[in-house]
Amino acid sequence: MNWMDTIENNNSVEPIEFNVVKVDHNISLAEAIQLSVEKSGYEVEFIETFYGIEMDIKIPFLVGTEDDMINVNITRDDYTITIDIDIRRPNTIEEKLDILEYVNDNNGFISFSWNNEEELSLISIWMSRERLDAVDMLLEHRLINIEMGNAYVNDDKELIQEKLAQRGELEVYRDEDLEFNLSGEWNATHGFEYRYILRDINELINAIQEERENILRFT
């Protein structure tokens, strides 16, 4: 079987979607996401880091192995959702060009990139957004402006419109200098950022499932 042969896969892939869970007590973003993941029957581990919170959502055979997982890294300024997929090291120029063409054709809000290091070769699928309080600071300092048409933060006007509509609810974070939705000092499930992050996790998983057969030809 050569590099570009399609690999038959008899395993059907059911769509995966994590839904918002409502709770009546103060929890952090990570805890809210954990409840959504576990309600769907998957495991999640998270640890607090110096910069924020990092989560590993375990989804066996999302691509091809039992150890497949989505990483969610939430800091004060942004959040990034990533999966790294091990692939075979290319041995020829043609194989390298095949990979480069594939990842370059898939660079939008959900980005595909190829990392080829000495010990390993992998395709990363990822997306990143500014946190809402970071957007708030940009609005406060007039670095983005809806009316002037330069309101894009990671190409998402919807996020800023939502931020403008809910701005009063976010003032507590500036006033009390809280780690916005990381500390558990506020009920994250009443907030729109929880829904945004969960939506983006679902979008990334959906993109991975749609690209599964294309990715498997490189593994």
Tokens of 33: 């996401």
Q: Decide if 146 is inside a domain.
A: yes
E strand or H helix at 99? helix 93-104
The number of folded domains in the chain is 1
Q: Decide if 34 is inside a domain.
A: yes
Q: Decide if 169 is inside a domain.
A: yes
Q: Decide if 27 is inside a domain.
A: yes
Range of the domain at 62: 20-219
Q: Decide if 90 is inside a domain.
A: yes
Count helices and strands in the chain by DSSP H and E runs: 6, 6
pLDDT digits (tens, 9 = 90+) for 134-174: 777 777 667 777 666 666 676 677 777 777 777 766 665 55
3-class SS of residue 210? helix
Tokens of 122: 């992998």
Residue type, 154: N
Q: Decide if 91 is inside a domain.
A: yes
Q: Decide if 11 is inside a domain.
A: no
pLDDT digits (tens, 9 = 90+) for 54-71: 999 999 999 989 999 999
Q: Decide if 9 is inside a domain.
A: no
Alpha-carbon dihedral angle through residues 72, 51, 182, 136, given to the nearest 10 degrees: -100
pLDDT digits (tens, 9 = 90+) for 1-26: 333 333 334 344 678 999 998 876 67
Q: Which pTM does this prediction carry?
A: 0.80
